[in-house]
Amino acid sequence: MVAEQALVVRKRLVEVDHAWKADVYADTGGYEAARNVVTSMSPEATLELVKASGLRGRGGAGFPTGMKWSFVPKDVFPKYLVVNHDEGEPGTFKDRELLESDPHQLLEGMIIAAFAVGASKAFIYCRGEFALGSRRIDQAIRSAYDNGYLGEGVFGSSFDFDIVLHRGAGAYICGEESALLDSLEGHRGQPRLKPPFPAVKGLYGQPTVVNNTETLSTLPHILNHGVDWFRQWGTEKSPGVKIFSVSGHVNAPGNYEVPLGTNLGDILELAGGMLNGNDLKAVIPGGISAPLLTTTDMAMDFEELQGAGTMLGSGGIVFMDHTTCMVRNALVAAQFYEHESCGKCTPCREGTWWQVKVLERIEHGEGRKEDLDLLLDMCERMDGRCFCPLGDTAAWAVRSNIKSFRSDFEDHVAAGHCTYETDHRTLVGARAGATGLGDAGVTSQPSAGIGSDHDGHAR
């Protein structure tokens, strides 16, 4: 049987032309869920429903959304909702597509979330490189105001809700929620000490819910169709559907929305199989922070991947074939982390610097045998000791490359040069992220489901 997508969040943008336009969105059932919530439901009931759905954050950590909301103190005002649209994980481009192609869906999700937690002001922290997306969401916010979906008295109710679009400057660390808040406040984008968590003390010291674009975009569907409908997909602990961004050595890279728990092999099949029919070598299952898999026999949900020593993360899957040199792969990942380390804590700042230095030496044929154990030791001394997960995952990425493909490294050291005949246009997602060329790197790949609409000039 050929694998099929379970289109929910991506349904409109796949099936309807110009889904990003306000009238198109409204004509296809848009804003009904938000209208219903705001005019006929209580915040408590909304929160309970989201809790019952088991929706987990789609940004990377997979924290249950309803539970996150319930940590927000009831009697402290003002509260804020912040959208984490700083999608920076190499190999991930799902939020970007949602913002570019269905921005009103995000706005509707935001209205629901803000109503449930009692926030009357929201900020969309949009990654700086997302030029088209930020234009589209800006336009969407304007038309939502014009139509009375935002501003004073949303849908004629007593609920006031304002949205501010803020464009970041392209720092990966600003995808970490507390660094995002610092950046939003105008400080250096660096993670904050936790506790207190943002739900208690977030933006400007006020209770703040930080949710990912995909998470919020899922809400209207849960509200429209109910908990049981949502739970028809996925597992008990990881219910629902999830968008995976597939890139690397595959025939049809792009975003694919499938039930959580779908086999990785089925996702590869959806993406047209391996490029040129080559053999699979390694898979990054959830953005380059996630340790490598060497098989496609894996159920893609939070628990299974954690059990396999890796993680679902942001859902950015990168397939690599047998022509890929893992020294190069590790170096590219390490360079990315070194470039994106905020410099706040010692192990991340110095560890990523050292990793790159040693990997560069190996790549250039000056590696020593003891360098591999040195790198692994470094990873041990970074992992779990950094201020925020950036440094920890920098350790995971390098460690996983060495542990799974030690012979690549040993051959490199022994031969004094790379033994692969590869041009380095591999690893599209990862390299694009590493060089900061997010737009150019990823849009050059056809994105499944988005056709001519996606010309980058539409306005």
**Token representation of residue 88:** 């920076």
We find the least distance from the C-beta atom of residue 171 to another protein, in angstroms, to be: 8
Task: List Cβ neighbours of 75 (8 Å cut-off, separation of 6 or more).
Answer: none
- C-beta of 86 vs 338, nearer to another protein: 338
Shortest distance, position 447 Cβ to another protein, whole Å: 31
Q: Tell which residue, 140, 188, 141, has the closest CA to residue 164.
A: 141
d(CA 340, CA 173): 7
Q: Does 453 bind another protein (CB under 8 A)?
A: no
**Minimum CB distance to another protein, residue 396 (Å):** 14
Cβ(86)–Cβ(180) under 8 Å?
A: yes
Is 434 in contact with 339 (CB distance < 8 Å)? yes
User: What six digits make up the tokens of 249?
Assistant: 């050595």
Q: How far is the CB of 58 from another protein (least distance, A)?
A: 24
CB of 179 to another protein, least distance (A): 11
Give, as ranges, the residues between 190 and 209 that touch another protein (CB under 8 A).
Answer: 193
Q: Which two tokens stand for residue 179?
A: 């660094």
Judged by beta carbon, residue 41 or residue 332, the one nearer another protein is 332
- CB-nearer residue toward another protein: 226 or 343: 343
> Which residue, 18 or 194, is less far from another protein as judged by CB?
194
Helix (H/G/I), strand (E/B), else coil: 385: coil
Question: Using CB under 8 A, which residues numbered 328 to 387 contact another protein?
Answer: 338-347, 349-354, 357-358, 361, 374, 380-381, 384-387
The two most distant CA atoms of the chain are separated, in Å, by 72
Q: Return all residues near 46 (Cβ < 8 A) that are at least 6 apart.
A: 37, 112, 115, 116, 223
**Size of site (CB under 8 A) for another protein:** 29
| Sites for another protein among residues 60-89 (CB under 8 A) | none
| Minimum CB distance to another protein smaller for 100 or for 338 | 338
To the nearest whole angstrom, how small is the minimum distance from the Cβ of residue 337 to another protein?
Answer: 9
Using CB under 8 A as the binding rule, the residues of this chain from 418 to 437 that contact another protein are none
User: 3-class SS at 451?
Assistant: coil
Q: Can you tell me the distance from the alpha carbon of 383 to that of 395, in angstroms, rounded to the nearest whole number?
A: 6
Question: Which CB, 29 or 343, lies closer to another protein?
Answer: 343
Q: Is the dihedral of CA 449, 138, 67, 170 positive or negative?
A: positive
**CB closer to another protein out of 54 and 351:** 351
User: Which helix (H) or strand (E) segment is 75 a member of?
Assistant: none
Which residues here bind another protein, judged by CB under 8 A?
171, 188, 193, 338-347, 349-354, 357-358, 361, 374, 380-381, 384-387
